[in-house]
Amino acid sequence: MVANMSSGQGTVINVLIVEDSETAVAMIRHSLESSGGSLCLTVVKSIAEARVWLGENTPDIAIVDLMLPDGKGTALIHQNRERANYPAIVLTGAGNEVEAVEAMKSGAMDYLVKTPAVLSDLPRVVDRCLREWGHIVRHRLAEVALRESEERFRSIFTSAAAGMAVVSPQRRIIEANPAFCRFIGYTADELTGRLVDDICVAEDRCRIAEMYADLLAQRVPSLDCERRYLRKDGTLVWGHVSLACVLSGEKGGGYCVALVQDITARKEMEEKLLLLNRELDAFVHTVSHDLRSPLTPIMGYAQFLQEQYSGTLDATAMEVLGEVRRQGERMHAMLEDLLRLATVGGLERPDAPVSCSQIIQELIADMGRVVAATGATLDVAELPELYIPKTLCMQIFDNLVGNALQYGGGGAVEVRGERSGDRVRLSVRDHGPGVPDEEKSRIFELFYRGSCGSRTNGTGIGLATVQKIARHYGGYAWVEDAPGGGSIFLVELMDGGG
């Protein structure tokens, strides 16, 4: 027989009573209802009836008689509380305490002797068992969540394309994923227990020890760096390492997780590019220097013939000699510009700041004739000081101001500069015809002179030198249309003197 009853308000507690004694059921019902809680009581008289009901329902708590007509009530109790679906209290008659204790060992939360005095305390026992059951459920859920989290980490760890390694606070490898094993050339078993120091170059070991010390002391939350690894076959590879620690409450507990991306190909390309740039600079320096040697006497001979035989040679011959001199001077200027371009990056930052305002004043003095000839005016605002070699600063302003005077159409040339932290922006504005949109991205290329430059003297190296200087100091150069006409040439670079 199944009897259901709901009482009270609020959360309803579903109680399954498995008891064949009407008297005991009455005492249980009276004791629980007297507590004033919201209850739903389900009463069955046998294990078979209980199993039928449990096939479709799950109680919040079960109160089970130890001795039932079709067997022991412990058959309804899971032996492992951590795996049970509900908590259970065992009822026993007087003299069955030993079996009741065994029932407790089989998974019951508590046991009670079926006497009026004992059963009167049933609401308190039920409340305590439900609280304990709540702790068990929360612990079970936490374990499930932890297990799912570990399974997700395991899946990522195993299938990740990047290398991953779990490392102890003592810098010993606990586990390495397949990608890291391929990267370093060892098997997982060979890496387990090995010191991180064993797979890095000797010069990096002190720095690596400092990194782990900083992480374990929680001075930094994580670290990123590029470092070399020593493979099993003795070859060196480069990895970009992201390192973070998971610390436990125990002293010296926890572990670190390292994510290692193979950047060997990129490093090799950077090294080749650096070598090529050095070779190119050396080549340009050699060519510009060696070609000047024969160029000087050629220009000298042409000048000599013009001066000594001006009365003998006809006009055509004199014109040819003049062209030889002009082309020689043009070649000489180009070689000088190539030499300046080659030396960019070969100078150290100065210890004291360089005054851009003083550089501009020196340029104005040098360009006095050009300024007068073009009818232009120079408007120079206060300029920041830079920790960049003076010769390079001079080249930036010499090229930008010189171009503004040459192509600006005789208007005002405005020179400006500002600093924002370590970033410095310099600008030179002219009021000339401007730069066509299709040429804006090309005029900083080597030897490119554009439509305006083709009608004037020049080498096409000046703006390329400005761009190279800007990039060497972490910036770039570009040109914009100025409001109202003209162009603004801008240079941004990083300067640690701010």
More confident of the two residues 170 and 345: 170
Is the per-residue pLDDT at 491 higher than 60? yes
Out of 163-167, 186-190, 221-225, 321-325, which region has the weakest mean confidence (pLDDT)?
Answer: 321-325
Question: What distance lies between CA 340 and its chain's CA centroid?
Answer: 38
**pLDDT value of position 3:** 38
Can you say whether residue 33 is alpha, beta or left, with left for phi > 0 and alpha for psi between -120 and 50 degrees? alpha
Query: At 347, is the pLDDT very low, low, confident or very high (cuts 50, 70, 90)?
Result: low
Residue 325 CB neighbour total at 10 angstroms: 18
**In the structure, how many helices (H) and strands (E) does the chain have?**
15, 20
**pLDDT value of position 183:** 94
Give me the torsion for CA of 319, 320, 323, 327, rounded to 10°.
-170
Question: What rounded mean pLDDT belongs to the chain?
Answer: 83
**pLDDT value of position 199:** 92
Specify which of 186-190, 223-227, 432-436 reaches the highest per-range mean pLDDT: 186-190
| C-alpha to C-alpha distance for 241 and 204, rounded to whole angstroms | 13
Query: At 6, is the pLDDT very low, low, confident or very high (cuts 50, 70, 90)?
Result: very low
What amino acid occupies position 233?
D
Cut 0.75: pTM above it: no
Out of 51-65, 236-250, 273-287, 378-392, which region has the weakest mean confidence (pLDDT)?
Answer: 273-287
**pLDDT value of position 195:** 92
